[in-house]
Structure 1
C-alpha cells in the first residue's frame, strides 16, 4: 500500500523513481479504509534528506500511511528553504489538538549541549508529554531517544572522547520482540553521534528493555513499553552515502569505521543495513496497526492505555 504525501514534496519524485508507491490526496479519499496517521517531527538540519529517508521506510510498509511533517513552533530552520518549510511543515502548536497513530522524532545536531541548554527544550518536553495522550506509539531517533530517556526516566547521556562513527555490527538481544521479528542474530547499523547512554543507567530503569546493542557503541534499540515508545540511538534510516557526506562535511577528520571498502574513501560504500531498516519500520507500523483504536478520537484514552 502507498504513502500519502503532498504532490509537490521533493521526496515524492525520489520515491516514485525508486518504485515506492506514492498516493495523492484525490486517490486516497477513494479508498474505503482509514490510513494510519503518522507524524514526523523533523529536527535534522537537512530536512529534505531526512524526510525522504523516513518517508521511504514508512511508504514501503503494506498499509496506507498519511504522513504529517511537523516542526518546532518557533525554531527557524537554517539549512532548509523557508518556502519548503512553509509549504510542507506544520508547527507543533497547530497539531497539538490532533491525534496520531504513530509519531517519529528525529535526532538533532545539539547532542553535545546539556539538554537544558537546547533552545527549544521546553517545547520539546511538552511534545514528549503530549505523545502520552495524543499518540498511540512513538519512535525516537538518536538525540531524541537520549532526550526522551532523560525526560521520562532521568537517564543521563555522556559525551564520548571520540565520535562513534561508522557501521557497526549489533546483536539482537531479544529475538522474540515484535520489533525485531525477522532480524538476523547480528546486523549492521550506521552510527554517528558524540554522546552515549550507559547500559548501567538503562538497567536501573527496570521498565526499559535493551533489544539490540554493540559492545563498542552500546545500546542501539530500547523498548519503553510503559511509554509506548521505541528508542533508536543510531541511524538505520541513513542512505548509502550519508556517512560519506558527513565525513566530507567534517573535513575528513575521522574515517567512519567499517564503512568504505578497505577503508579507502575513494571507493563507494555498500549499503549493508537497508533490509533491516525496512524490517524495523515494518514491524513498528505493524505493531501500530494491530493495537491502535479504529476511532482516532480514542487514541490516548485511559482504557486504550491500559489495554496496550
Structure 2
C-alpha cells in the first residue's frame, strides 16, 4: 500500500522505530495518481502520534491514498507547534472547494464542554456542512462522532 504524504512527515519517524516499512508508505506525486483522496481533521492534542495511528491504519489498504491533514483556522493547538501545522497541514479554507473520497474527524479532549462553548465550534459546523456536500464517506471518531 502506498500513501501520498511528504517524505519528511514526522509520524514516519515513529513508524520507523516500530520497524514499519517506510519505503512502502511514501508515494511521490510523480510515481502514481492516487486512487483515494482522504482529508483528516486531527483534533487530538498529540498530533504526531495520531498521524502515525492514521498511517498505520491506512497502510493496510490495497489502494493508493492521498492524505490531506487539515486544520481549523480558528484554533491554535497547544501541544503541537504551528510550524508543524503550517508545514504538514492545510487550512480548511484551502480545501473547501475540493471533493474527497473520505473525511476523518478525530476526537478532541473537549467532551465535557457544551458544543457551543468549544472555541472552534462555528468553523467546525461549517466543515461538517462541507463534508455532507463534498465527501463520499465520512468517519467521525470519539468526540468527532458526538459533535457531528
When normalised by structure 1's length, the TM-score is 0.45
Partner of 1:39: 39
1:30 maps to which residue?
A: 31
Structure 1 3/131 Cα, relative in aligned 2: closer, same or farther at 3 Å? same
Q: Give the drift of 1:34.
A: 3.9
| 2:74–2:123 contact (8 Å) kept in structure 1 | no
**1:15–1:22 contact (8 Å) kept in structure 2:** no
Match of 1:85 in 2: 85
The higher radius of gyration belongs to: 1
Alpha-carbon distance between aligned partners in 2 of 1:29 and 1:101, rounded to the nearest angstrom: 21
Structure 1 residue 52, shift from structure 2 partner: 0.8
Measure, in 2, the Cα distance between the counterparts of 1:62 and 1:11. Answer: 21
Report the counterpart of residue 101 of structure 1 in structure 2: 101
Confirm or deny: 8 A CA contact 1:5 1:12 kept in the other structure.
Answer: no
Please name the residue that 1:10 is paired with: 10
State the secondary structure of the residue aligned to 2:85.
Answer: helix
CA distance in 2, matches of 1:13, 1:114: 36
Matched, 1:111 2:114: no
Residue 24 of structure 1: CA displacement?
3.4
Preserved CA contact (<8 Å) 1:2 1:60: no
User: Partner residue of 1:50?
Assistant: 50
What pairs up with 1:261-272 in 2 under 5 angstroms? none
Q: Is the 8 A contact 1:10 1:48 kept in 2?
A: yes
Distance 2:48 2:34 in 1: 27
Q: 1:259 matched to which residue of 2?
A: none
C-alpha deviation, 1:18, in angstroms: 1.4
Q: State how far apart, in whole Å, the 2-side matches of 1:65 and 1:15 are.
A: 17
Q: What is the rounded CA distance, in whole Å, between the counterparts of 2:65 and 2:15 in structure 1?
A: 14
Q: Deviations over 1:106-154 (max 9, x none)?
A: 0001100001111111111111111111100000000010111xxxxxx
Equivalent residues in 2 for 1:120-135, closer than 5 Å: 120-135=120-135
Q: Structure 1, residues 194-241: CA drift from partner, whole Å, max 9, x if none?
A: xxxxxxxxxxxxxxxxxxxxxxxxxxxxxxxxxxxxxxxxxxxxxxxx
Match of 2:63 in 1: 63
Identify unmatched segments of 5+ residues in structure 2: none
* Secondary structure, aligned partner of 1:56: helix
Residues 1:76 and 2:76 are matched in the alignment: yes
Tell me the distance in 2 between the aligned counterparts of 1:110 and 1:14: 26
Higher relative contact order (CA 8 A, sep 6+): 2
Separation in 2 of the partners of 1:84 and 1:35? 26
